[in-house]
Amino acid sequence: MTTKTTTGLSLSRRQLLQGGAALGFGAATLGLSPAWANPWGQSNTYPQGAVEGNDIALAIRRETLAINRRNTRPITINGTSPGPLIRLREGQDATLRVTNLLDEPTSIHWHGLILPPAVDGAPGISFAGIAPGETFTYRFPVMQNGTYWYHSHSGLQEQLGHAGPIVIDAAEREPFRFDREHVVMLTDWTFEEPATVFRNLKTAEGYYNFQERTITDFLADMRENGFRETARSRAMWARMRMSSRDIADVTGSTYTYLVNGQAPEQNWTALFKPGERLRLRFINGSAMTYFDVRIPGLKMTVVAADGQPVQPVPVDEFRIAVAETYDVIITPEAETAYTVFAESMDRSGFARATLAPRLGMEAEMPERRRISDRGMEAMGAHGGMDHSDMAGMDHSDMAGMDHSDMAGMDHSNMAGMDHSNMAGMDHSDMQDDTSPGASKGDLLPAGTAQPGSQYDQAGIGIDPDERRILVYRDLKAFRPWPDRREPEREMEIHLTGNMERYMWSFDGKKFSEVNGPIHFRKDERLRLVLVNDTMMEHPIHLHGMWMELENGAGELIPRKHTINVKPGERVSALITADAEGSWAFHCHLLYHMDAGMFRVVKVS
């Protein structure tokens, strides 16, 4: 038995640890396993403990635990939720034995890891799932390094806390230095059963959206924009049967936002010595929540995205889509506390932690920002496009719309967009359900930013003039990735949905309605174009292969496992289809995936 486990503590001991003593430097002094130390002698604090070694055992069960000091029944991994940090080493062979102690099937997907399809962990694709009472052994070579995470790929289990962080230590020195590191895993917890949340979403549009505009908002708008403008803008949204506040479909009205399993009042605290370079490994392990992350008083330097090293980008704030990871370096110089503040994108709540030189210190929390409205920019990329996919919308009203209304609106998002290309686009291939997209004669050169993108925008509710905010345009690979071929063909997939009936799909078809997989030819280089025909963000995740985001970085094109597509946006990614087998491809918003925004990609 080579597994070293730091989670095998009695509950009282663990509670003691969570209470504070071990949150910072304590791990070593309390005699915990050296699992904390990585090859360069840095330490990592993560309150749920770590497992490492060549043979790791994980037990999945549902049990009573306190979350935000209230007893509830999450799914735990080795007794904690979120689960322990799994610490691997680039170049090792990993063996992970997962025992299902639930009364239903389960699974673990290793999010962002490149591995054989049989151990990818998406049930019904190349793996049957793990039956109750069964132990499934995942064995794979670890061929990469960086910050990743794991989660259930069965039903809605991820919403019950069946997730945890993965850190893979690099075989060689990484291209940035740091003295100490901390995992910051963000999740959204609800005391409701996930099935109830899903039912609520299906039966009542906007069920969790308690931030509908009020008469007070109306009066405030009127003062700002005048009566005509305000009335028209509201009438327009009403005609489109959408609320400009449908920014998140599940909100702080049911969610408690957690950092490493701790609610804002519990204030998870990580320690530092002034002058140290700290590496924070941010993981968005939420089911549904995008976060805007900042540490008031500190500049953050983004050094990795989705586990992959990028050219350093100094920022004041970054938005992290569901399932993304970002590594940042900070250097707190002062003997003072700092707040790590992660506001949910819709502003309905926040997660919070503290960085401090000593336990018990606290910094002020920044002022909460106002919820923002989705303006017409959400409709931006749709100029000239076929809206027939958007079944729930009545476009007849829009035809009659007085577009002079739009004059007063903020078109800045649209400025970078070239609509001329889109008008001439051929949408005929959208009708084909099994092979969206077809070979096209004139492909734009690889690495250039494609039209319709908003890579220089952070997205709704975030003001780029206020502070320096990370945008996709900033992401440049630390060094060029090996396959620099031009794409041989282009495949276009539309992200589609019907908000009223809570149906989410690709190319207008739910997963249950499609006949077969999307086909990639083995070893082909292809361009995947994602067009978001909906009013919501979708973080799109491809298993088994990287997606290289065509954000204009030329040969330093960055690669990602999850790409956020903003409302109305068109993004493109290059893929080297080198991973033979069947792979999941889906929106990483849990309820969108479950509703049908899911496909199988077959590489053969």
Residue identified by tokens 């033979």 is: 580
Token pair in block for residue 165: 């962080």
Question: Which residue lies nearer to Cu ion by CB, 319 or 476?
Answer: 319
Determine, following the binding rule CB under 5 A, whether residue 352 of this chain makes contact with Cu ion.
Answer: no
Considering only 27-35, 58-66, 270-278, 530-538, which stretch makes contact with Cu ion by CB under 5 A?
Answer: 530-538
The residue type at 525: R
Q: How far apart are CA 113 and CA 546, in angstroms?
A: 9
- For residues 51 and 589, which CB has a smaller minimum distance to Cu ion in the complex? 589
According to the binding rule CB under 5 A, does residue 503 interact with Cu ion? no
In whole angstroms, the minimum distance from the beta carbon of 153 to Cu ion comes to 16
Answer yes or no: are the C-beta atoms of 336 and 277 closer than 8 Å.
no
Cis status, amide bond into 82, omega within 30 of 0: yes
CA distance linking residue 32 with residue 14, whole number of Å: 12
Determine the Cα–Cα distance for residues 491 and 65; give it in Å rounded to an integer: 46
For residues 128 and 396, give the distance between their C-alpha atoms in angstroms, rounded to a whole number. Answer: 47
Smallest distance from Cu ion to CB 81, Å:
24
476 counts as binding Cu ion under rule CB under 5 A = no
Is residue 201 a contact residue for Cu ion (CB under 5 A)?
no
Cβ density class 583-597: b for 16+ within 10 Å, e for less? bbbbbbbbbbbbbbb
Q: How far is the CB of 589 from Cu ion (least distance, A)?
A: 4
Nearer to Cu ion, 14 or 599 (CB): 599
Applying CB under 5 A, does 587 fall inside the site for Cu ion?
A: yes
274: cis peptide before it, omega within 30°? no
- H-state helical runs in 370-423: 396-399, 419-423
- With binding defined as CB under 5 A, does residue 589 bind Cu ion? yes
Instruction: Please say which residue, 538 or 599, places its beta carbon nearer to Cu ion.
Output: 538
Residue 236 exposure: Cα atoms within 13 Å on the Cβ side: 21
Provide φ and ψ at 600, rounded to 5°. -100, 130
The nearer residue to Cu ion, 60 or 589, going by C-beta atoms, is 589
What is the total count of residues that contact Cu ion (CB under 5 A)? 4
The region of 135-143, 262-270, 305-313, 586-594 touching Cu ion under the rule CB under 5 A is: 586-594
Backbone angles phi, psi at 277, to 5 degrees: -90, 120
Closer Cβ to Cu ion, 525 or 588, answer by number: 588
Residue 494 as a binder of Cu ion (CB under 5 A): the answer is no
Is residue 538 involved in binding Cu ion (CB under 5 A)?
yes
Q: Which range of residues in 63-71, 389-397, 476-484, 581-589 is near Cu ion by CB under 5 A?
A: 581-589
Contact 456, 471 (CB under 8 A): yes
The minimum distance between CB 147 and Cu ion, in angstroms, equals: 23
**Least distance to Cu ion, CB of residue 530, Å:** 11
Rounded least distance, CB 599 to Cu ion, Å? 13
Q: How far apart are the first and last CA of the chain?
A: 38
Report if residue 322 touches Cu ion, rule: CB under 5 A.
no
Residue 286: CB minimum distance to Cu ion, A: 13
Q: Decide: 188 and 163 in contact? Cβ < 8 Å.
A: no
| Residue from the set 14, 347, 592, 599 that interacts with Cu ion by CB under 5 A | 592
Phi/psi at 60 (nearest 5 deg)? -105, 125
Binding region for Cu ion (CB under 5 A) out of 29-37, 106-114, 562-570, 585-593: 585-593
Distance from C-alpha of 569 to C-alpha of 551, rounded to nearest angstrom: 13
Minimum distance, C-beta of residue 378 to Cu ion, in the bound complex (Å): 14
- Of 56 and 536, the one with the shorter C-beta distance to Cu ion is 536
**Piece of 155-163, 168-176, 372-380, 587-595 that binds Cu ion (CB under 5 A):** 587-595
Is the Cβ of residue 476 or residue 588 nearer to Cu ion in the bound state?
Answer: 588
For residue 466, report the phi and psi dihedrals to the nearest 5 degrees: -75, -45
Rounded to whole angstroms, the Cα distance separating 267 from 360 reads 10
Give the nearest distance from C-beta 597 to Cu ion in angstroms. 5
Closest C-alpha among 419, 327, 420 to residue 380: 419
Looking at the Cβ atoms of 589 and 601, the one nearer to Cu ion is 589
Closest contact distance (angstroms) between CB of 587 and Cu ion is 3
Is the Cβ of residue 317 or residue 533 nearer to Cu ion in the bound state?
Answer: 533
Q: With contact defined as beta carbons under 8 Å apart, do 487 and 574 qualify?
A: yes
CA angle 299–301–305, rounded 5-degree value: 140
Q: How far is the CB of 278 from Cu ion (least distance, A)?
A: 33
Output 35 or 287, the one with its CB closest to Cu ion: 287
Give the range of 136-144, 187-195, 522-530, 531-539 binding Cu ion by CB under 5 A.
531-539
Residues at the site binding Cu ion, with contacts judged by CB under 5 A:
538, 587, 589, 592
